[in-house]
C-alpha cells in the first residue's frame, strides 16, 4: 500500500465517523467521543512506544493533570466555560508538557524495563497526589464538572461536542503524523533500532528522546482536558495504573508505531468494555480473547493484518510455484 | 480502518434494533428500572449481593409492582465512577428508564447524583453512603433519594455506646478514603462529645493486605480499638491483630463485620462489636423469612447489600401502590416516598426531610451460635442494643451539624493525638 493510499483511507475513515456517528443512538455517540478523547492519549504513548522504543507505564499521569486542571479551573474559578476553553486547552497541553519535562529528566536516562519502572513510579506519584490531596482534588470522590463550555456553540449538546473532539483528534493525528515523518521522527526510529549507532553518527539521542517525551506529555494533557469534559467527572481511577496499562494495551493491540493502530485499539476496547458489556455478561472473555489472539497471531497488532494476509498469500503462491517446478 | 468503521456501524445497527424493540413493547404500565452494580472486577461479589437482593424482591412480586410490569436492566458499573456515568446515560438515553437504582462506592454515588440532576431522572441509592449527598450538597440533587444510610449514621449512636461501656481512650484504624473518614469521623465526634478521647488515627490504604507495619504502632494505653475495614481488608486485619496477641476489645464500622465477609471469618472475631442498620441475625419474623428464603435461593447468608436492595424494591412497590401502578414522575415519586413509613426487614423506616432514612441502628456482637433452626453453629451478628429511629444527624441539631464541614481526614481534628 502506498502511503498516499493509506492517508486516503484514514481521511475516509474520519469522514465516515463524522457522518455516521451523529445518526446513531446517543449512547454510541457518547462512547465514540470517549474513544476519540482517549485515542489522543494512546497516540501520544505510541510516539514513545512505537517510534522511540520507550514503553511508558505512566502515561495516565498526563491525562490526569490535564483533566484535574480543567475540572479545578471549571468548578472553583468558573474558568474555561466560555471562550477561555481554548486557553484551558493550551494550558492543559503546557501543563502536560511541563510535567513530562520534569519526569523526563528522571526517566529518559533509563531504557527498557527500567524506563518502564521509573515511569510507573512517577505515574503513581501523580495518582497519589490525586488520591491524597483532598482539599484540591476531592480525594477518592474526585471532582464533578457541572457543565460543559459554551461559546457561540454549546458543547453540552452531544453531537456538537462529538465534532469538537473529532476535530481535536484529527488535528492531533495530523500533527503527530507530521512529527513522526519529519527528520526528527526518523531519528527517533533510528534510536529505537540502534541507539549506539545514532550516537556514533553524532545525534544527541538523550535530547531526542527527551523532546519526544515532552511532546507526548503535551498531547496527554490535551486528551485530559477533553476527557474531563467528556466524562464529566475526574477521579483517581482515571489516573491509576490500570489506565496507563489500558493505553499501552490499546497501542499494542492496534499495532505500535502506526499511530492509527492505537486509535483502532481504543475503539475496540471501548466498544467491548462499554458497549458489549451492556449486551452480555461475558464481555471480559471476549476482551481477553482479543488480547491473547492478537499477541499470538498478530505480534505487530491489528495494523499488521493486511501485511500478514499479503505475505501469507505470497507464501502460498511461492509454494505452488515450487511444487509446480519438478513436473 | 474498515475495522473502525465496522465498530461504529455494528453498534449502531444493534442500538437501532434495541431501540425498536423497546418501543414495540412500551406500554403505559411498564416500569423500567436501570440497576447499576459492579458485576465484574474486585467488587463483583458485592455487586452480586446487590443484584440478588433486588432481583429476589422482584421475583417474589412476580415482576409486578402494584400493577406496573417491571423491566429490570442491570448494567455493570465496574466500581469506576466514570463508567457508572456512561452506563447511567446509556440506561437513561437509550433504554429510557424511569429510575436508576444502585451504585456501590461513595465516589460512584457522587458521580451519579449529578447525572440524575442533568437528565431529570430519579436516582435511588441503596448502598452508596457518602454523607454530603443528603447533607450539604442535597440542594444540587433534586431527583436523588436514599434508601440506604449515610456513612456516619450508625457511628453517632455507636460513639455514645462506647462511652457507656466505660471506654476512655480509643485508637481508630480505618481505610484511607472518604467512606473511612466519615465512619470514623462520626464515631470520633460522638465519642468525644460524651467524654471519650480518640488518641490515635491510623489510615492504611484501601486494599491493604499486610497490616504488619500498622499493628505495632497501635498505642498500648488505649481501652479499645475501632476498625473500619472494607472488602478483603476485613478478613485480614482481625487475623493479624489476633496473631499479635491483642487483648483489647475490638469494635468497628458495619462493613468490618458485615455478613458479606462474616461467613469467611475465623473465630478470632468472636466478641467484636459493630454498628449498622441491619444484621442478618435480627430476630423478627420478616427477617427470619428473608434470611431463609435468601439462603435457599442463593446459598449464602444475606449481607446488608442484599437487604438494602431488597428493601429498595419494597419502597418502589409501596410508592407504586399509592399511585395505582402509574409512574408519577420523579419529583412526585420522591414526594410520596418522603411521606411514607415502612415496616421493613431492618425495622421501621421513614424518610427525613433531607431524603435519608430514619431507622434503627443496631449494636451487634459477633457470636458463634445456631440460629433460625440451622443445625450448624455459625458466626452471627447478634444484636445487643437497639437505638430506635436514628436520623443521619443523630442527637445533634440539624442546622448546627450542617454548619460543620463534612467528616474528613482532618475533621474532626485529632485533639488528643500526640
Using one digit for the tens of pLDDT, what is the confidence trace for B112-149?
A: 999 999 899 999 999 999 999 999 999 999 999 999 99
Q: For B231, which DSSP code?
A: T
- Determine the CATH number of domain B155-283+360-403: 3.40.50.2300
Contact B1 A34 (CB under 8 A): no
CB-nearest partner of A231 from B14, B82, B107: B82
CB-nearest partner of A21 from B8, B81, B408: B8
Confidence band for B245, pLDDT divided at 50, 70 and 90: very high
Name residue B65's beta-bridge partners: B68
> Does any CB of chain A come closer than 8 Å to the CB of residue B399?
no
Contact B110 A274 (CB under 8 A): no
E strand intervals along B128-284:
144-146, 169-174, 197-202, 224-228, 250-253, 273-276
| B1 has a pLDDT exceeding 80 | no
- What does the pLDDT read at residue A316? 52
The CA-to-CA distance between both ends of chain A, in Å, stands at 35
Which phi and psi angles does B162 have, rounded to 5°? Answer: -60, -40
> Does any CB of chain B come closer than 8 Å to the CB of residue A238?
yes
User: Which residues contact residue A117 at a Cβ distance below 8 angstroms, ignoring those fewer than 6 apart?
Assistant: A57, A110
In chain A, what percentage of residues exceed pLDDT 90? Answer: 49
Of residues A251, A247, A243, A270, the one with CA closest to residue A64: A243
SS3 labels along chain A: CCHHHHHHHHHHHHHHHHHHHHHCCHHHHHHHHHHHHHHHHHHHHHHHHHHCCCCCCCCHHHHHHHHHHHHHHHHHHCCCCCCCHHHHHHHHHHHHHHHHHHHHHHHCCCCHHHHHHHHHHHHHHHHHHHHHCHHHHCHHHCEECCCCCEECEECCCHHHHHHHHHHHHHHHHHHHHHHHHCHHHHHHHHHHHCHHHHHHCCCCHHHHHHHHHHHHHHHHHHHHHHHHHHHCEECHHHCCHHHHHHHHHHHHHHCCCCCHHHHHHHHHHHHHHHHHHHHCCCHHHHHHHHHHHHHHHCCCCHHHHHHHHHHHHHHHHHHHHHHHCCC
Cα separation of B221 and B148, whole Å? 36
Contact B83 A16 (CB under 8 A): no
| B262 has a pLDDT exceeding 60 | yes
Find the residue in B nearest to A141 (Cα).
B107
Using an 8 Å Cβ cutoff, are B366 and B257 in contact?
yes
CB interface of B with A, residues 268-297, below 8 Å: none
Cα separation of A118 and A242, whole Å? 16
CATH topology of domain A10-324: ABC transporter involved in vitamin B12 uptake, BtuC (1.10.3470)
**pTM exceeds cut of 0.95:** no
Residues B259-273 have a mean pLDDT of 93
Name residue B275's beta-bridge partners: B253, B363
Distance of CA B413 to the CA centre of its chain: 26
To the nearest whole angstrom, how far is the Cα of B222 from the nearest Cα of chain A? 27
Burial of A292: CB neighbours in 10 Å, binned 0-12, 13-18, 19+:
exposed
CA-atom Rg of chain B in angstroms:
22
Asked whether this chain's domains B2-151+286-295+302-358 and B155-283+360-403 adopt the same fold, the reply is yes
Measure the CA angle with vertex B414, ends B408 and B415; round to 5°.
145
User: Which residues contact residue A256 at a Cβ distance below 8 angstroms, ignoring those fewer than 6 apart?
Assistant: A46, A49, A50, A262, A300, A301
To the nearest whole angstrom, how far is the Cα of A234 from the nearest Cα of chain B? 7
Contacting residues of A for B107, CB less than 8 Å apart: 140-142, 235, 237
ipTM, 2 dp: 0.82
- Among the ranges A129-143, A148-162, A303-317, B256-270, which has the highest mean pLDDT value? B256-270
| A264 has a pLDDT exceeding 60 | yes
CB interface of A with B, residues 31-90, below 8 Å: 31-32, 34
- What does the pLDDT read at residue B223? 95
Instruction: Report the mean per-residue pLDDT for chain B.
Output: 90
Cα separation of A30 and A36, whole Å? 10
Which phi and psi angles does A190 have, rounded to 5°? Answer: -60, -40
CATH architecture of B2-151+286-295+302-358: 3-Layer(aba) Sandwich (3.40)
Contacting residues of A for B114, CB less than 8 Å apart: 144, 146, 232-233
Tens digits of per-residue pLDDT, B31-87? 999 999 998 888 888 999 999 999 999 999 999 999 999 999 999 998 888 899 999
Cell match 492505537: residue?
A262
To the nearest whole angstrom, how far is the Cα of B99 from the nearest Cα of chain A? 17
CB interface of A with B, residues 278-297, below 8 Å: 278-279, 281, 284
Cα separation of A168 and A220, whole Å? 12
Measure the CA angle with vertex B88, ends A233 and A270; round to 5°.
75
Contact B8 A17 (CB under 8 A): yes
Cα separation of A231 and A200, whole Å? 47
Contact A27 B7 (CB under 8 A): no
- What does the pLDDT read at residue B28? 52
| B16 has a pLDDT exceeding 80 | no
- What does the pLDDT read at residue A1? 58
Tens digits of per-residue pLDDT, A267-287? 999 998 888 888 888 888 998
Domain ranges of chain A: 10-324
Q: For B135, which DSSP code?
A: T
Cα separation of A133 and B176, whole Å? 12
Residues A167-187 have a mean pLDDT of 93
| B12 has a pLDDT exceeding 80 | no
Out of A22-26, A166-170, B188-192, B249-253, which region has the weakest mean confidence (pLDDT)?
A22-26
| B289 has a pLDDT exceeding 90 | yes
> Does any CB of chain B come closer than 8 Å to the CB of residue A29?
no
CA-atom Rg of chain A in angstroms:
21
Residue B7 grid coordinates:
465498530
Which phi and psi angles does A138 have, rounded to 5°? Answer: 75, 10
To the nearest whole angstrom, how far is the Cα of B108 from the nearest Cα of chain A? 8
Residue A149 grid coordinates:
463550555
Of residues B282, B257, B275, B307, the one with CA closest to residue B394: B275
Confidence band for A34, pLDDT divided at 50, 70 and 90: very high
Torsion of CA B122, B127, B128, B130, to 10 degrees: 110
Using an 8 Å Cβ cutoff, are B222 and B169 in contact?
yes
Tens digits of per-residue pLDDT, B365-406? 999 999 998 999 999 999 999 999 999 999 999 999 999 999
Measure the CA angle with vertex B256, ends B251 and B257; round to 5°.
85
CB-nearest partner of B90 from A27, A32, A235: A27
Cα separation of B195 and B182, whole Å? 20
CB-nearest partner of A302 from B3, B80, B115: B3
Domain ranges of chain B: 2-151+286-295+302-358, 155-283+360-403
Contact B81 A142 (CB under 8 A): yes
Helix (H) or strand (E) holding B180: helix B178-193
Whole-angstrom CA distances from A233 to A205, B41, B108, B305 are 39, 21, 10, 26
CB interface of A with B, residues 106-165, below 8 Å: 131-132, 134, 139-142, 144, 146
Residues B257-283 have a mean pLDDT of 94
Tens digits of per-residue pLDDT, A99-117? 999 999 999 988 888 999 9
Residue B277 grid coordinates:
442498620
Amino acid at each position: 500500500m502506498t502511503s498516499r493510499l493509506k492517508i486516503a483511507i484514514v481521511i475516509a475513515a474520519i469522514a465516515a465517523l463524522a457522518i455516521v456517528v451523529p445518526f446513531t443512538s446517543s449512547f454510541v455517540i457518547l462512547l465514540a467521543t470517549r474513544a476519540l478523547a482517549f485515542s489522543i492519549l494512546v497516540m501520544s504513548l505510541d510516539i514513545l512506544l512505537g517510534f522511540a522504543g520507550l514503553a511508558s507505564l505512566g502515561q495516565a499521569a498526563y491525562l490526569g493533570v490535564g483533566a484535574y486542571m480543567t475540572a479545578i479551573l471549571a468548578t472553583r474559578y468558573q474558568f474555561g466555560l466560555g471562550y477561555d476553553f481554548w486557553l484551558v486547552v493550551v494550558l492543559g497541553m503546557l501543563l502536560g508538557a511541563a510535567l513530562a519535562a520534569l519526569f523526563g529528566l528522571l526517566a529518559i536516562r533509563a531504557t527498557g524495563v527500567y524506563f518502564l519502572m521509573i515511569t510507573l513510579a512517577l505515574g503513581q506519584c501523580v495518582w497519589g497526589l490525586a488520591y491524597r490531596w483532598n482539599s484540591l482534588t476531592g480525594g477518592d470522590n474526585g471532582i464533578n464538572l457541572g457543565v460543559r463550555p459554551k461559546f457561540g456553540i454549546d458543547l453540552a449538546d452531544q453531537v456538537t461536542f462529538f465534532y469538537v473532539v473529532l476535530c481535536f483528534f484529527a488535528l492531533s493525528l495530523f500533527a503527530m503524523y507530521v512529527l513522526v515523518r519529519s527528520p526528527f521522527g526518523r531519528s527517533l526510529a533510528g534510536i529505537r533500532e540502534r541507539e549506539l549507532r545514532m550516537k556514533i553518527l553524532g545525534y544527541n539521542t538523550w535530547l531526542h528522546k527527551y523532546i519526544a517525551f515532552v511532546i507526548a506529555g503535551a498531547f496527554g494533557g490535551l486528551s485530559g482536558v477533553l476527557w474531563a469534559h467528556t466524562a464529566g467527572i475526574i477521579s483517581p481511577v482515571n489516573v491509576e495504573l490500570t489506565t496507563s496499562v489500558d493505553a499501552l494495551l490499546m497501542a499494542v493491540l492496534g499495532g505500535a508505531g502506526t499511530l492509527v493502530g492505537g486509535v483502532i485499539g481504543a475503539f475496540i476496547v471501548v466498544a467491548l468494555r462499554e458497549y458489549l458489556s451492556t449486551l452480555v455478561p461475558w464481555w471480559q472473555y471476549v476482551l481477553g480473547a482479543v488480547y491473547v489472539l492478537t499477541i499470538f497471531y498478530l505480534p505487530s497488532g491489528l495494523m499488521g493484518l493486511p501485511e500478514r494476509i499479503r505475505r501469507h498469500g505470497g507464501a502460498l503462491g511461492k509454494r505452488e510455484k515450487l511444487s509446480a517446478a519438478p513436473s | 480502518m474498515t475495522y473502525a468503521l465496522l465498530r461504529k456501524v455494528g453498534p449502531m445497527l444493534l442500538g437501532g434494533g434495541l431501540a425498536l424493540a423497546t418501543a414495540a413493547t412500551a406500554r403505559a404500565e411498564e416500569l423500567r428500572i436501570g440497576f447499576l452494580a459492579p458485576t465484574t472486577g474486585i467488587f463483583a461479589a458485592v455487586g452480586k449481593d446487590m443484584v440478588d437482593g433486588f432481583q429476589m424482591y422482584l421475583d417474589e412480586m412476580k415482576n409486578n409492582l402494584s400493577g406496573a410490569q417491571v423491566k429490570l436492566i442491570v448494567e455493570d458499573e465496574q466500581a469506576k465512577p466514570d463508567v457508572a456515568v456512561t452506563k447511567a446515560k446509556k440506561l437513561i438515553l437509550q433504554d429510557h428508564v424511569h429510575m436508576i437504582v444502585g451504585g456501590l462506592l461513595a465516589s460512584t454515588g457522587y458521580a451519579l447524583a449529578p447525572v440524575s440532576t442533568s437528565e431529570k431522572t430519579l436516582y435511588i441509592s441503596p448502598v452508596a453512603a457518602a454523607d454530603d449527598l443528603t447533607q450539604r450538597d442535597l440542594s444540587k440533587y433534586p431527583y436523588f433519594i436514599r434508601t440506604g444510610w449515610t456513612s456516619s449514621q450508625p457511628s453517632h449512636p455507636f460513639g455514645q455506646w462506647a462511652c457507656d461501656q466505660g471506654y476512655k481512650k480509643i485508637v481508630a484504624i480505618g481505610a484511607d478514603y472518604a467512606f473511612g473518614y466519615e465512619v470514623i469521623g462520626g464515631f470520633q465526634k460522638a465519642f468525644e462529645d460524651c467524654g471519650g478521647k480518640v488518641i490515635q488515627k491510623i489510615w492504611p490504604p484501601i486494599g491493604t493486605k499486610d497490616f504488619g507495619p500498622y499493628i505495632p504502632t497501635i498505642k498500648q494505653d488505649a481501652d479499645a480499638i475501632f476498625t473500619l475495614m472494607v472488602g478483603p481488608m476485613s478478613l485480614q486485619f482481625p487475623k493479624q491483630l489476633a496473631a499479635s496477641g491483642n487483648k483489647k476489645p475490638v469494635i468497628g464500622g458495619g462493613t468490618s463485620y458485615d455478613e458479606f465477609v462474616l461467613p469467611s471469618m475465623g473465630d478470632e472475631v468472636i466478641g467484636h462489636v459493630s454498628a449498622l442498620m441491619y444484621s442478618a441475625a435480627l430476630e423478627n419474623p420478616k427477617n427470619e423469612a428473608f434470611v431463609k428464603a435468601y439462603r435457599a435461593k442463593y446459598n449464602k447468608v444475606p449481607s446488608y447489600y442484599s437487604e438494602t436492595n431488597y428493601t429498595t424494591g419494597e419502597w418502589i412497590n409501596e410508592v407504586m401502590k399509592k399511585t395505582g401502578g402509574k409512574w408519577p414522575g420523579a419529583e412526585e415519586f420522591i414526594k410520596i416516598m418522603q411521606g411514607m413509613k415502612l415496616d421493613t426487614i431492618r425495622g421501621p423506616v421513614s424518610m427525613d426531610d433531607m431524603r435519608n432514612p430514619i431507622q434503627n441502628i443496631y449494636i451487634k456482637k459477633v457470636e458463634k451460635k445456631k440460629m433460625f433452626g440451622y443445625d450448624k453453629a455459625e458466626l452471627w451478628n447478634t444484636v445487643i442494643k437497639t437505638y430506635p429511629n436514628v436520623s443521619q444527624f443523630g442527637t445533634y441539631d440539624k442546622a448546627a451539624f450542617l454548619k460543620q464541614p463534612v467528616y474528613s481526614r482532618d475533621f474532626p481534628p485529632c485533639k488528643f493525638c500526640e
